[in-house]
Amino acid sequence: MASVTEPKSSAALTDGIILEKPGPQGTADTLAPETNGNVVGKPRHDDDPQNDEDLIFDDHNSTARKMVILGTVVFPLIGMVAAIVLAWQFGMMSWLNLGMLIGGWYLTGLGITIGYHRMLTHRSFDAVTPVRWFWTSMGALAVEGSPTDWCMVHRKHHQFSDHHGDPHSPHLHDGGLWNSLKGFWHSHTGWMFNSNWSKRERQKYVPDLMNDPFLISIDKHYVWWVVATLLIPAFIGGIAALFAESVTVMSVAQAAGLGFIWGGLARVCLSHHMTWSINSICHIFGSRDFKSSDDSRNNIVFGVLSHGEGWHNNHHAFPTSARHGLKWWQFDLSWIIIRSLEICGLAWDVKLPTAKQMEYRSRK
Ligand SMILES: [Zn+2]
Ligand SMILES: [Zn+2]
């Protein structure tokens, strides 16, 4: 196993990928003493696009684009409410529906944590191509954006964590209860409506990913990944209904509909809020075991529920570590899988902090 380097610069977040120097506000590290925990003002980007040609999406600020984001947030939520009502009021939930909800959540959630986050964003390990493609595909099915966009946002989050330039910090608003609530909303969901990305930023933050044909192909055809992730469970539900004792057109249609709601919309809703809680809750509630230049926290609930991502203070202290649950009792399912892949010879260059590095950053 390789050891991680101290995260003193943006390059350390990505194990050697040199990002351009940040703007006049400096790196999160250099800002820490003046602004730690009390950053005020509106969040802004250091690379705000100068003109429309510079934008990744031509219609970036249009109402249509905001409606797409609104739909991505709201429809899964409606699906979750519908699933609960159908189960509660009409008993319309099968073991298959529950399996698709939980199984789909685990698979696509791990796609985000293992594939998008630890493998692509931080390069905390490398793996054989089928493994890389599998976890990247699972991540794409989580409906959290294409891999290059996701990694771009996340690398920027680490570079400016909880300081101006961080896309989704809960601490970029003034004090008081109302502003705290606004900060929470911004970090959990609201930031997506305000995000404004330029092609220059993509080139700056994810130059290494822009040469990968598989990632670019997902980028180009992302809408079909969204369609697939909703229709696959509907298809599974419909096929399973064909093997029931009495088969009618209605019974197949109903099973497909329930598959769509439980395994599609409700599952996407669950995955979304698990990931978004890392950006919001895990920068507010929990313990700070290691020194880091932000307000990241270790939160046991999301450590367990979010496949290890809730050990977020550990992660900000050692961004390139493949293991986030650094203590034996800090359950980290993503790490267990990465370690298993390494033991099987399917993954390598697995990075971990050394005991000395952990001691140096420990707050105790
Ligand atoms: Zn964070
Ligand atoms: Zn990260």
Tens-place pLDDT, residues 77-103: 999 999 999 999 988 889 999 999 999
pLDDT tens-digit series, residues 299-313? 999 999 999 999 999
Q: pTM to 2 decimals?
A: 0.85
Counting ligands in written order, the one closest to the CA of 313 is 1
Q: Copy the structure tokens of residue 72.
A: 């991505």
Closest-approaching ligand to the CA atom of 334: 2
Residue showing tokens 């993503």: 334
Angle, helices 222-241 vs 267-279, to 10°: value is 140
Query: Which ligand has the shortest distance to the CA of 157?
Result: 1
Task: Tell me how far the alpha carbon of residue 1 lies from the centroid of ligand 1, in angstroms.
Answer: 25
The pLDDT tens digits for 280-289 are: 999 999 999 9
> Per-residue confidence at 13, pLDDT binned at 50, 70, 90?
low
| Residue 36: pLDDT band with limits 50, 70, 90 | very low
Nearest to 311 by CA among 117, 82, 125: 117
The tens digit of pLDDT for each residue in 252-275 reads 999 999 999 999 999 999 999 999
293: region left, alpha or beta (phi > 0 left; psi from -120 to 50 alpha): alpha
The DSSP bridge pattern shows strands 2-3 and 126-127 to be: unpaired
Q: How far is the CA of 182 from the centre of ligand 2 (A)?
A: 23
Distance of CA 73 to the CA centre of its chain: 14
Rounded Cα distance, 292 and 344, in Å? 34
* Cα 43 to averaged position of ligand 1 atoms, centre (Å): 15
The pLDDT of residue 144 is 96
d(CA 140, CA 314): 26
Q: Which ligand is nearest to the CA of 280?
A: 1
Pairing of strands 126-127, 347-348: antiparallel
Measured in Å, residue 279 CA sits from the centre of ligand 2 at 10
Distance CA 26, CA 331 (A): 35
In angstroms, what is the span from residue 278 Cα to ligand 1's centroid? Answer: 7
Q: What integer is the mean pLDDT of 122-138?
A: 98
Report helix, strand or coil for 336: helix
Give the amino acid at 167: P
127 - beta bridge partners? 347
Confidence band for 175, pLDDT divided at 50, 70 and 90:
confident
**Axis crossing angle, helix 95-110 with helix 129-140, rounded to the nearest 10:** 120
Question: How far is the centre of ligand 1, averaged over its atoms, from the C-alpha of 100 (Å)?
Answer: 29
For residue 3, the CA-to-ligand 2 centroid distance in Å is: 17
CA of 241 to the centre of ligand 1 (A): 43
- Sort strands 2-3 and 351-352 into parallel, antiparallel or unpaired: parallel
Give the Cα separation of 36 and 297 in Å (integer).
Answer: 14
Say which residue the tokens 């598959």 belong to. Answer: 259
Nearest-5° Cα angle at 80, 192 to 228: 70
Q: What is the CA radius of gyration of the chain?
A: 21
Distance 103 CA to ligand 1 centre (A): 26
Q: How far is the CA of 319 from the centre of ligand 2 (A)?
A: 6
- Distance (angstroms) between ligand 2 centre and the Cα of 30 equals 19
Tell me the ligand closest to 297's alpha carbon.
1
Helices (H), the chain: 10-13, 28-35, 63-90, 95-110, 129-140, 147-159, 177-185, 191-194, 199-205, 213-220, 222-241, 249-259, 267-279, 300-305, 312-317, 333-343, 355-361
- Residue position matching structure tokens 């696509």: 108
CA of 254 to the centre of ligand 1 (A): 41
Q: What per-residue confidence (pLDDT) applies to 64?
A: 77
- Nearest bound ligand to CA 167? 1
Q: What angle do CA 103, 270, 85 make, to 5 degrees?
A: 95
Q: Which residue has the higher pLDDT, 334 or 33?
A: 334
Residue partners of 364: CB distance under 8 A and separation at least 6: 289
Please tell me the number of the ligand nearest to residue 312's CA. Answer: 1
Which residues are bridge partners to 311 per DSSP?
A: 298
Between the CA of 156 and the centroid of ligand 2 the distance, in Å, is 10
- Residues 6 or more apart in contact with residue 7 via CB below 8 angstroms: 13, 29, 158, 316, 317, 318, 319, 320
Q: How many angstroms separate the alpha carbon of residue 354 from the centre of ligand 1?
A: 21
